Amino acid sequence: MIRLMTEDDIPVVLSFIHKTIREDPHYNVHQQNLLISYATPLAMQTAINNAHTVVYVDDDILDVDIHRVVGMASIASNFILYMFVDPLEQGKGIGQSLYDHLEKYARLHNKFVNKNKLLVFSTENAVNFYKKQGFEEKERINHVDNGQTIIRVRMEKYLA
């Protein structure tokens, strides 16, 4: 089930974002620490307040009172800000469900200037996922911060 993210979700979301970054083989420990320093409670609160930010809740648990947040995604205008799935839950279609939700939201709300294009700055780890969604790689950018270089991949998808 996908629902809007709330403040109560921030600790668990940050936990699996940090875990995902730690398990990404494309980054050394210094780069991982830099990326983790960007994923803060304030960043999540800003996404909740200023973008369409959702979580994926595992509702396959037998006890209907227990639901576990296992993914999150956020879009502002035509730009995908975040999309993370708990590493233990990857490969189960959760990322696909979150992406489908973001694209549907973008198509329905059409708030962005270029109404037929979605943008994302992907990590190396997620490039193939976005390519499967129809995104094209446009540019590789070396982002340098605090002496660490992080490669971000600018990708675009034209919506029909």
Whole-number pLDDT of residue 107: 85
20 within domain boundaries = yes
> 57-109 pLDDT, tens per residue?
987 655 555 468 999 999 998 899 999 999 999 999 999 999 999 999 988 88
Look at 34-38, 104-108, 119-123, 135-139 and tell me which has the smallest mean pLDDT.
104-108
Q: Is the pLDDT of residue 113 over 70?
A: no
126 within domain boundaries = no
72 within domain boundaries = yes
- How many domains, in total, are found in the chain? 1
The whole domain housing 66 covers 2-114
Q: 28 CB contacts (<8 Å, ≥6 apart)? A: none
151 within domain boundaries = no
Residue environment code for 74-106, b if the CB has 16+ CB neighbours within 10 A, otherwise e: bbbebebbbbbbbeebbebebbebbbebbbeeb
> 18-59 pLDDT, tens per residue?
999 999 998 899 999 999 999 999 999 999 999 999 999 987
Q: What is the pTM of this model?
A: 0.90
CATH of the domain at 77: 3.40.630.30
139 within domain boundaries = no
Q: Are strands 148-158 and 2-4 parallel, antiparallel or unpaired?
A: unpaired
pLDDT-derived band at 143 (thresholds 50, 70, 90) equals: confident
**What does the alpha-carbon distance between residue 66 and residue 127 come to, in Å, rounded to a whole number?**
33
67 within domain boundaries = yes
Q: Is the pLDDT of residue 119 over 80?
A: yes
134 within domain boundaries = no
Backbone angles phi, psi at 45, to 5 degrees: -60, -40
- 60 SS3 class: coil
50 within domain boundaries = yes
